[in-house]
Structure 1
Amino acid sequence: MRDHTQTLDKRAYHIFNNVIDFIITAGIVIALGIGAFSIFVDVKKTNDLKIGYTGYSMKDLGAVAWLKVAKTDIDFPIMQGKTNMEYLNKNPLGQMDLAGSIFLDSTNSPQFTDPYSVIYGHHLDDGLMFGALDAYLKKSYLEGHTNGTLETSSGRKYQLKLFSCFHVLSDNPIVFNASTQKTTEKVRDYINKQDPNHLSYDESLPIVALSTCVNATSENRVVVFGTIK
């Protein structure tokens, strides 16, 4: 009887060990699967940033416009939220993402009919998103990378001409005040003061500002100014 009981105990112990081993193995497989999926998602997000979501249309993304700058990696949909916080950490696919989106100031016309418009984007490493704007701080680079296009969701296509770039504090009431900017005069005067040697441009045209942070802790912003026609 004792031998029979011991045999049953051994079998039960063996079964218990097998169950535990299976649970541990399954847990490892699930963890590896989750890890692999996370890597896949991160790689896809990085690839989306590198190619500028060019595999999607404005309609697919609900974008208000598309920005391209010749001879650069800037080729992105422009989103617009009800507030400027909406797309700060949300990508054009609607997913939560620290890289956020390139987005138009919430108070600006999505058809870019305002005399002054501001477009924001995060500063990422390797020139991703608006990290590419850093290069414009060198006048020689600006001179060779002035042309671009801005197409709205309604099909209107503007020619973009970049003419100035410099650092601006994040609370600047002129550069970052698109909601009350009825004229480009104050912006033009400010550009002339901060960058008197800017490239020539047609002062009768609307101005567009492309803005990004210098880094995560700085109050400075890199702002590139251009006209659209």
Structure 2
Amino acid sequence: MFENKKDINDDKVRFSFAANIIREIDHWIDLLILTFVLLIGAVTVYALYDSQLIYSNAESTIYSSFRPDENGEKSFDELCNLNHDVFGWLDIYGTNINYPIVQASNNERYVSNDVLGNYSLSGAIFLDYRDNKSFLDFNSIVYGHHMAHGAMFGDIDKFEDETFFNNHPYGSIFFDDMNHGIEIVAFIKCDAYDMRMFNPDVGINYQDQFLNDINIMAIHKRDISISTNDHIIAFSTCASPSETDRQMLIAKLTDEVRENPYAESNDDVDVVRVLQQRAQGEYKKVPVMLWILDIISILFLLFLFIRAIVSYHKNSNI
């Protein structure tokens, strides 16, 4: 009727052995989950860092020291010596579009390389490889990525607002050792495969039709005299929602360089507000699922911490 002491001891040994196995498994599970938590945290930090790096490399201010000045182009020459594909400088007044212009032997190189030729997802502002660097063609096309914070050609979509379009009619473009003026003629939306807009080789017989197409497609346009004797520059960037949607600013090249009324406006910018907006933008670029995993990870770490405290107190009372 009474259990043998040996059997009881055997049961205790088996129970103790099973308990040790369970504790060991529990320990390894905790370790694996903790490793996963740390990996999630590392991925989040890297995502924020990578996003910030892309956009900081795209900011126009990092090239400002190379900008041609009124008395010459010493610093601009230095930039050209660093990369012989650099040949010009674009400034659209009242926007962040203030960059060097490059041209390669194809249209792929500067989609993912910066002005210095280094790999960069922000790319560079580049002229279509089929166009003349002196903008002697009837139609020249300049490309740039649509980036957040107004970087690269990110400010082109501002021209969709009619008031902004009307208040920002001018810019300048430097090439062949001198500055030239540009007048914004129209803002249009089109498809990347619309060869009416993306053909730099517009024959003489089609130039009138090209100008008529711009007039028809324009969301906003300015009453400016423009003819087949003029030189057109189309500034193109991506748009949403489709991957093939494009926004274009159509400009006319002129000999008159207008004064930039916004040249000193950056001095009055609320730097703190800009940095706050930028930080908010970087957080939004991290996938929602990654944030959810981060929250779960934090809760799990909190659970481990509380469990460790409870276990410590239990052992202290034994």
TM-score norm. by structure 2 comes to 0.56
Structure 1 residue 157 corresponds to structure 2 residue 179: yes
Tell me if the contact between 1:207 and 1:226 (Cα under 8 Å) persists in the aligned partners: yes
Per the alignment, residue 172 of structure 1 pairs with: 194
Per the alignment, residue 247 of structure 2 pairs with: 222
| Stretch deviating more after TM superposition (139-148 or 208-217) | 208-217
| Stretch deviating more after TM superposition (47-56 or 81-90) | 47-56
Q: Which structure 2 segments of 5+ residues have no match? A: 1-44, 67-75, 255-318
Instruction: Give the drift of 1:87.
Output: 0.8
Separation in 2 of the partners of 1:197 and 1:217? 21
Separation in 2 of the partners of 1:93 and 1:194? 36
CA RMSD in angstroms, aligned pairs only: 2.6
Tell me if the contact between 1:214 and 1:221 (Cα under 8 Å) persists in the aligned partners: yes
Q: Number of matched residues?
A: 193
Q: Which has the higher helix share?
A: 2
Separation in 2 of the partners of 1:207 and 1:186? 14
Aligned partner of 2:158: which letter?
A: A
Tell me if the contact between 1:174 and 1:186 (Cα under 8 Å) persists in the aligned partners: no
Structure 1 residue 76 corresponds to structure 2 residue 123: no
Structure 1 residue 206 corresponds to structure 2 residue 235: no
Separation in 2 of the partners of 1:92 and 1:76? 9
Per the alignment, residue 92 of structure 1 pairs with: 115
Which of 125, 137, 158 is matched with 1:135 structurally? Answer: 158
1:46-77 CA distance string (max 9 Å, x none): 15524161223252443121100111111001
Separation in 2 of the partners of 1:67 and 1:177? 21
Separation in 1 of the partners of 2:58 and 2:65? 8
Tell me if the contact between 2:54 and 2:121 (Cα under 8 Å) persists in the aligned partners: no
Per the alignment, residue 145 of structure 1 pairs with: 168
- How does 1:96-107 map onto structure 2 within 5 Å? 96-107=119-130
Instruction: Give the drift of 1:197.
Output: 5.8
Separation in 2 of the partners of 1:134 and 1:192? 19
Separation in 2 of the partners of 1:110 and 1:201? 25
Tell me if the contact between 1:52 and 1:77 (Cα under 8 Å) persists in the aligned partners: no
Per the alignment, residue 132 of structure 2 pairs with: 109
Per the alignment, residue 51 of structure 1 pairs with: 61
Instruction: Give the drift of 1:181.
Output: 1.2
Separation in 1 of the partners of 2:62 and 2:250? 21
Aligned CA distance change for structure 1 residues 161 and 47 (closer, same or farther; 3 Å): same
Separation in 2 of the partners of 1:191 and 1:176? 12
Separation in 1 of the partners of 2:239 and 2:120? 19
Secondary structure of the corresponding residue to residue 155 of structure 2: helix
% same residue: 23
Point out the structure with max Rg over C-alpha.
Answer: 2
Aligned partner of 1:53: which letter?
A: Y
Secondary structure of the corresponding residue to residue 165 of structure 2: helix
Aligned CA distance change for structure 1 residues 198 and 45 (closer, same or farther; 3 Å): closer
Instruction: Give the drift of 1:198.
Output: 1.6
Aligned partner of 1:177: which letter?
A: N
Instruction: Give the drift of 1:160.
Output: 0.4
1:174-208 CA distance string (max 9 Å, x none): 11011x21344232110111128621123132111
Instruction: Give the drift of 1:127.
Output: 1.2
Aligned CA distance change for structure 1 residues 216 and 91 (closer, same or farther; 3 Å): farther
Secondary structure of the corresponding residue to residue 233 of structure 2: strand
Aligned partner of 1:186: which letter?
A: Q
